[in-house]
Amino acid sequence: MQSVSRQSERQWAVRLHSRPGLDDQSGASTTQVAWVFGRCGAECPIQIGRTLAATSQYGKQTPGMNETDQSTNSDSKAPLAQSLDRCAPFPYSKDEYVRRLLWEVVRRTVYGLAPGRMVGWRRFWLKAFGAKLAPTVNIRPGVVIRHPWLLEMGEYSALGDHVTVYNLGQITIGAHTVVSQNAHLCNGTHDYKDPTLPLLRPTMTIGSGVWICADAFVGPGVSIGDNTIVGARAAVMRSLPAGVIASGNPAAVVRERPMPAPPESIPAKTNDTKANGSAA
């Protein structure tokens, strides 16, 4: 009997609110409607009662009613910092779009499918598209280079597996520098102070003897001095001096990098030394 009574109360509550002129005749308020739904045990009783009272064509909007919708409307009227409909649809020149298309075809076929040991093959195609690479540069498989013609690398430098070189602007890497696997060199951004978000293509410079560890992120326009180490998964958003170790997000200098003794200070092993050693 109790379940039947609850079901009848639930049906009566719906009919009560759907009666024409309910608010005009009986003066039922939002609180009363919510109380009726609370008696019938409906799901989310108070919110349902408020929603029905606010959306009924016979109901009256009362102060404090439908507060969620009112806050949403007020937020939508706030001024926006950017207007995406005013952004430049084609920020590159026609010539660059053609080169980008041709490079994408090559990158996904003859360049991208080359096995790991075919370093010279990858260098060949990068140089064919304008990259300035020393003959000893090592480009590992899976490296994604957005614009080869905006990349320069010195002697014995290397890009590890699956490194992303997002070089919308020029990226210059010195000699004997390692960029480890899955690192991201992001050299392109937008001017957030302008509502049209114009494309910015700064210059990134990474010195010689630098080690950018795995999963690190290097932001637009950053310069990294010679012999600096960027720790794993660090986010470099500002330039770093030479000869330091930096880590964290954002990256901060932890300490100076210890330098090995110069080669000339290490005594060379002569034939006499070897002879004396063998005699002893």
Secondary structure E strands in the chain: 132-133, 138-139, 144-145, 151-153, 158-159, 164-166, 171-173, 178-179, 184-186, 189-190, 199-200, 204-206, 211-212, 217-218, 223-224, 229-230, 235-236, 244-247, 252-256
- Let me know if residue 102 belongs to a domain: yes
pLDDT band at 268 (very low <50, low <70, confident <90, very high): low
- Let me know if residue 267 belongs to a domain: no
Claim to verify: residue 156 and residue 108 sit in the same structural domain: yes
pLDDT at 31 over 90: no
Q: Which residue has the higher pLDDT, 60 or 229?
A: 229
Prior bond of 250 cis (ω within 30°):
yes
Q: Check if the beta carbon of residue 152 is closer than 8 Å to that of residue 167.
A: no
Claim to verify: residue 125 and residue 210 sit in the same structural domain: yes
Domain count, the chain: 2
Q: What is the mean pLDDT of residues 156-175?
A: 97
Q: Check if the beta carbon of residue 255 is closer than 8 Å to that of residue 249.
A: no
- Let me know if residue 203 belongs to a domain: yes
Q: Check if the beta carbon of residue 71 is closer than 8 Å to that of residue 78.
A: no
Reduced to 3 states, what is the DSSP secondary structure of residue 67? helix
Claim to verify: residue 193 and residue 121 sit in the same structural domain: yes
Here the tokens at position 95 are 């010539």
Claim to verify: residue 108 and residue 242 sit in the same structural domain: yes
Give the chain's mean pLDDT: 79
Q: Which residue has the higher pLDDT, 189 or 49?
A: 189
- Let me know if residue 169 belongs to a domain: yes
Which domain CATH number covers 247? 2.160.10.10
Claim to verify: residue 102 and residue 212 sit in the same structural domain: yes
Claim to verify: residue 107 and residue 227 sit in the same structural domain: yes
Here the tokens at position 111 are 């360049």
Claim to verify: residue 64 and residue 177 sit in the same structural domain: no
Q: What is the mean pLDDT of residues 72-93?
A: 80
- Let me know if residue 33 belongs to a domain: yes
Among 233, 212, 209, 232, smallest CA distance to 222 is for 212
Claim to verify: residue 46 and residue 113 sit in the same structural domain: no
Claim to verify: residue 49 and residue 127 sit in the same structural domain: no
The predicted model scores a pTM of: 0.67
- Let me know if residue 248 belongs to a domain: yes
Claim to verify: residue 101 and residue 27 sit in the same structural domain: no
Structural domain of 211? 94-257
What pLDDT, on a 0 to 100 scale, did the predictor assign at position 66? 56
- Let me know if residue 156 belongs to a domain: yes
- Let me know if residue 6 belongs to a domain: yes
| Cβ-proximal residues to 155 (8 Å cutoff; 6+ apart), any chain | 134, 136, 137, 175, 176
pLDDT at 157 over 50: yes
Among candidate residues 33, 68, 103, the one where a domain is terminated: 68
Claim to verify: residue 54 and residue 160 sit in the same structural domain: no
Reduced to 3 states, what is the DSSP secondary structure of residue 95? helix
pLDDT at 39 over 80: no
Q: What is the mean pLDDT of residues 70-84?
A: 72
Q: What is the mean pLDDT of residues 109-115?
A: 90
Query: Counting Cβ atoms within 10 Å, is residue 269 exposed (0-12), middle (13-18) or buried (19+)?
Result: exposed
Claim to verify: residue 7 and residue 59 sit in the same structural domain: yes
pLDDT band at 240 (very low <50, low <70, confident <90, very high): very high
